[in-house]
Chains A and B, each alone.
Chain A
Amino acid sequence: DSGVTQTPKHLITATGQRVTLRCSPRSGDLSVYWYQQSLDQGLQFLIQYYNGEERAKGNILERFSAQQFPDLHSELNLSSLELGDSALYFCASSASGGAAGELFFGEGSRLTVL
């Protein structure tokens, strides 16, 4: 158990809809990362937050947004969903925000868009 909790584990929705994925980092970790995993693209970095502030942005679509709350949990909002958004979304956390270190991943939220 990594200590990172993601909900929901599975989500099925229709095109055009909006969903919110939630992540609780390990106790004490200030950094939260969101990654998207699809079969042909591997793990794609979406966005990082450190202590409530956006720290880095990757290949995140404009239809997607995220935030980190004062209690350090994070939410990833996906809107105007398309079939191609079906993927496994991982949250990871780390203690640091500026020096390379271990990322602790949750078990992911599997999103299916029909």
Chain B
Amino acid sequence: QQQVKQSPQSLIVQKGGISIINCAYENTAFDYFPWYQQFPGKGPALLIAIRPDVSEKKEGRFTISFNKSAKQFSLHIMDSQPGDSATYFCAASRPDNTDKLIFGTGTRLQVFP
């Protein structure tokens, strides 16, 4: 119940294309769903986050789509650029007395020119 399942494990997209990464969860108590971006040799950094009271959140070329009934959420990267090449992690957390994040297993995105 604590798991967050992420797919695909790796993704290759051409420059200008759309990158889509999917995540699914079981625990209905989760109420915060961020995406983190990690470049080689660096720690993960928050990219965008959503709460279940909205179905979509957009920040620039990055959009989170959230389906509460299906317990799924996804990250869409529009007009993908080579600089977007990184590992992306979805995550979830519960509204208890800690804000620890449960992470998915990560998706390695490669965007080719």
- Point out residues on A near B: beta carbons under 8 Å: 2, 4, 31, 33, 35, 40-45, 48, 50, 55-56, 58, 90, 92, 94, 96-108
Contacting residue for B97 out of A4, A40, A98, A102, CB 8 A: A98
Assembly CA distance A22 to B32 (angstroms) = 29
Contact flag A99-B95 (CB < 8 Å), given A106-B43, A107-B42:
yes
Question: What's the least CB distance linking A1 to chain B, in Å?
Answer: 10
Within 8 A of A (CB), among B43-90: 43-46, 49, 89
Chain B interface category by residue count? 20 to 34
- Point out residues on B near A: beta carbons under 8 Å: 6, 31-32, 34, 36, 41-46, 49, 89, 93, 95-106
B43 touches A105 (CB 8 A): yes
Question: What's the least CB distance linking A85 to chain B, in Å?
Answer: 19
Q: Which residues of B contact A58 (CB under 8 A)?
A: 100
Question: What's the least CB distance linking A22 to chain B, in Å?
Answer: 15
Contacting residue for B100 out of A2, A4, A33, A90, CB 8 A: A33
B43 touches A96 (CB 8 A): no
Given contacts A97-B98, A103-B101, 4 further A-B pairs with CB under 8 A are A56-B100, A97-B99, A100-B95, A107-B42
Contact flag A31-B41 (CB < 8 Å), given A41-B105, A42-B105, A100-B32:
no
Q: Which residues of B contact A41 (CB under 8 A)?
A: 105
